């Protein structure tokens, strides 16, 4: 084969491989950002959190640290993680979370044992009258304690309705 043709073909292959990688990454980003990409079910959200590695890869809620002392009912110590869309809403003081925002909070007992993971996931059109949040609570092994439009979660968090149902910091 002519050397020039060979180099040309090699370049084509490299371009194909790289554009494949870039496309794949683009898809990953979309899955995290859109409410439709991750179905609002306990199982799908848990799979997604595990796949994302939320507790190693996500940022903590701004101005919180690992294992900060927490008020009841969630646990004596808490670590609260947020995905990118949620983080932007908090730092940008946007007043509300966008579609696809996820908050995942590790709830620890007094002796710092992980007891539950409490999750809020914003899904546009899911439950407009209560802020479009999907609620879920898991045992550390992923067993679902509660999920969906959970009355108990909504009743208490509704005290923060003007703050898009969250307690940890002001969104405005
Ligand atoms: C009796 C009131 C009460 C109930 C019931 C309750 N929460 Fe909370 N939740 C709080 C308070 C207070 C905070 C802030 C302190 C903390 O993080 O524990 C909070 C924080 C959170 C956070 C971190 C985001 C934020 O609001 O600042 C998540 C996620 C969460 N709760 C999920 C849930 C889920 C899921 C349920 C239902 C299974 C639930 N909560 C039930 C009072 C409650």
For 41-70, the pLDDT digits (tens) are 999 999 999 999 999 999 999 999 999 999
Q: Ligand 1: distance of its center to the CA of 157 in Å?
A: 6
Residue 62 has a pLDDT of: 98
- The residue whose CA is least distant from atom 6 of ligand 1 is 153
Report, as an integer, the average pLDDT of 28-50.
79
Residue 2 has a pLDDT of: 76
**Does residue 52 sit within a domain?**
yes
**Does residue 114 sit within a domain?**
yes
User: What is the span of the domain harbouring residue 50?
Assistant: 34-163
Q: How sure is the predictor about 10, in pLDDT bands with cuts at 50, 70 and 90?
A: confident
**Does residue 123 sit within a domain?**
yes
Is any ligand 1 atom within 6 A of the Cβ of residue 74? yes
Is any ligand 1 atom within 6 A of the Cβ of residue 73? yes
What lies within 8 Å, CB to CB, of 103 at 6+ separation is 61, 80, 81, 82, 86, 119, 120, 121, 166
Report, as an integer, the average pLDDT of 70-88.
95
Q: How many domains does the chain have?
A: 1
Ligand 1 atom closest to Cα of residue 75: 18
Nearest to 157 by CA among 166, 149, 144: 166
**Does residue 19 sit within a domain?**
no
Ligand 1 atom closest to Cα of residue 166: 26
- The residue whose CA is least distant from atom 20 of ligand 1 is 167
**Does residue 136 sit within a domain?**
yes
**Does residue 134 sit within a domain?**
yes
């Amino acid at each position: 084969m002519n050397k020039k043709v060979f180099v040309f073909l090699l370049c084509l292959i490299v371009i194909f491989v790289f554009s494949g990688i870039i496309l794949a990454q683009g898809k990953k980003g979309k899955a995290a950002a859109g409410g439709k990409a991750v179905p609002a079910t306990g199982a799908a959200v848990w799979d997604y959190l595990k796949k994302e590695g939320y507790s190693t890869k996500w940022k903590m809620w701004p101005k919180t640290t690992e294992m900060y002392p927490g008020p009841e009912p969630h646990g004596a110590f808490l670590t609260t993680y947020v995905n990118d869309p949620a983080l932007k809403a908090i730092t940008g003081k946007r007043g509300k979370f966008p579609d696809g925002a996820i908050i995942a909070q590790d709830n620890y007992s007094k002796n710092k044992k992980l007891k539950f993971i409490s999750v809020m996931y914003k899904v546009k059109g899911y439950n407009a009258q209560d802020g479009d949040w999907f609620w879920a609570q898991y045992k550390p092994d992923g067993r679902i304690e509660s999920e969906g439009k959970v009355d108990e979660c909504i009743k208490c968090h509704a005290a923060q309705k003007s703050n898009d149902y969250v307690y940890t910091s002001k969104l405005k």
